[in-house]
Structure 1
């Protein structure tokens, strides 16, 4: 079913054109406005389809009808650990080993396929628009916008917190400020290097184990593999990271988990905070650690 959004016009928009409200207060992109204009019933003022050049008055009700999305992602029922869900958002705790979107290596066993199947069972056709992606072998919270309006409002507005287990011992807290490059366009791996994109990672030591430290991580930038590349550049790759370090018998993938997401709800304006519990493989490593000392 289409998602219906209703806005009551405030006095500050008295006499303004509909387009000014849509591009301003509502935060719609020009592309989405054009799409709604072409759709019957896409933009209505007090129940009547309106033009974007028409004028608004205080107390008017402006209604937007967002159609269901269409794409060619094949629905494939897979377990979904849902952390939060409403008409505009779905937040899941993604397991390690699950890719986000279909690729030539993963055509059907992805989060996008699982989400498509979940909503198909409800009679809905939803395109998953993830706000920030996680690597296939990184676990944790993934925020999915369920329509174009929510996606546009959330873009760049989700603050994530990560837990990583790095080799070596870290004390206190610090910042890694090193640009990241892609040395070979044919490969997915990245590296620290001159002329790269700015990348800033903040960390705080939480627990210590045998030649490893649990660190809490915050990102100022969102470069591909940023956390993995930054710690590897210091000679302390993430435990289990075979791309930037070496295999580790204690864990079968890089020890990286998105533990929380904080943002403002794109429709209601409510502050949102969602936590994703650590998976068993990282919990087992943490159980071998003691609290870090300054």
Structure 2
């Protein structure tokens, strides 16, 4: 049984080169190279063709992608995944805090990517974990994974055009004065750190919207519950931007927050909106705050 990922298209333009049609169908040049040299296949009406083939209206084109290879550094592991949604293209998960999205030197095992590879193995899916929306280790909530490299390519295009929307909720130190503000401040790596980021003029463009949900106190310490929308996806973007405002996330000791009230940054991805990569059907997912953040909102420290 051929388990390679295959897509089917119908030619709409008379006399169009197959290469041009594939471009319109958003098949990347990298994918075409892999198809040609790594075991993929292009057929028109069941006959193998190359990209110079001239199409006729109604021709049935099948694009078979080569088998996917998992990185040697990504071990297959089995464990619990909280699956919010799954179809043939994507997997949406609710990630707990204190779990890496991908393996790191400090945490080489039990990442979401490791467990997804184990899950795919159980499903008989010859794929690897393609992370679409990544979360920091101590950030909880929704994340999306593509099941195939081509789907990852499509979701990457969607992200760059703003078609994937993520909203977060966070608890920050202090009372944020403005009910709404838009932070447009570039982010780059801090010169003396391989981990920490900061707002700097030579950084990458970063845009974050912040809306106040509630101002409150815990043990007479002022805090604010905020909703945050990302327009870009820089590393540590929310954490850096809120610290830049003078309101670091509660629990985020890397950027000035206190761990007295919670043992990780109080940040959760509550909403993920996107279109199904192949059908264009709108998808909307939501996730409730973890208990540790709810406890802080109730005014109790850890």
Shared fold (TM-score greater than 0.5)?
yes
| Alpha-carbon shift at residue 185 of structure 1 (Å) | 5.9
Whether 2:207 is the aligned partner of 1:204: answer no
| Alpha-carbon shift at residue 82 of structure 1 (Å) | 0.5
Matches within 5 A, 1:102-251: 102-155=103-156, 156=159, 157-170=163-176, 171-184=178-191, 186-210=193-217, 211-251=222-262
The separation in 2 between residues aligned to 1:214 and 1:124, in whole angstroms, is: 41
Q: Do the aligned residues in 2 keep the contact of 1:131 with 1:158 (CA within 8 Å)?
A: no
| Alpha-carbon shift at residue 33 of structure 1 (Å) | 1.0
The separation in 2 between residues aligned to 1:185 and 1:36, in whole angstroms, is: 43
The separation in 2 between residues aligned to 1:204 and 1:255, in whole angstroms, is: 16
The separation in 2 between residues aligned to 1:196 and 1:122, in whole angstroms, is: 42
| Alpha-carbon shift at residue 41 of structure 1 (Å) | 5.8
Q: Do the aligned residues in 1 keep the contact of 2:34 with 2:40 (CA within 8 Å)?
A: no
Q: Do the aligned residues in 2 keep the contact of 1:41 with 1:49 (CA within 8 Å)?
A: no
**Structural RMSD (CA):** 1.7
Residue 83 to residue 224, structure 1, CA distance change in 2 (3 Å): same
Counterpart pick for 2:296 among 275, 285, 292: 285
The separation in 2 between residues aligned to 1:190 and 1:266, in whole angstroms, is: 32
Q: Do the aligned residues in 1 keep the contact of 2:31 with 2:65 (CA within 8 Å)?
A: no
Q: Structure 1, residues 8-66: CA drift from partner, whole Å, max 9, x if none? A: 222xx221111111112x11110101211335562111111111111112211111122
Q: Do the aligned residues in 1 keep the contact of 2:275 with 2:283 (CA within 8 Å)?
A: yes
Consecutive unaligned residues of structure 2, counting only runs of 5 or more, are none
Q: Do the aligned residues in 1 keep the contact of 2:101 with 2:113 (CA within 8 Å)?
A: yes
The separation in 1 between residues aligned to 2:99 and 2:263, in whole angstroms, is: 14
The separation in 2 between residues aligned to 1:121 and 1:41, in whole angstroms, is: 24
Q: Do the aligned residues in 2 keep the contact of 1:9 with 1:57 (CA within 8 Å)?
A: yes
- What corresponds to 1:51 in structure 2? 50
- What corresponds to 1:292 in structure 2? none
| Alpha-carbon shift at residue 241 of structure 1 (Å) | 0.4
Consecutive unaligned residues of structure 1, counting only runs of 5 or more, are 290-294
Q: Do the aligned residues in 2 keep the contact of 1:3 with 1:87 (CA within 8 Å)?
A: no
The separation in 1 between residues aligned to 2:170 and 2:253, in whole angstroms, is: 15
Aligned length: 286
Whether 2:281 is the aligned partner of 1:270: answer yes
Secondary structure in structure 1 of the residue aligned to 2:253: coil
- What corresponds to 1:254 in structure 2? 265
- What corresponds to 1:35 in structure 2? 34
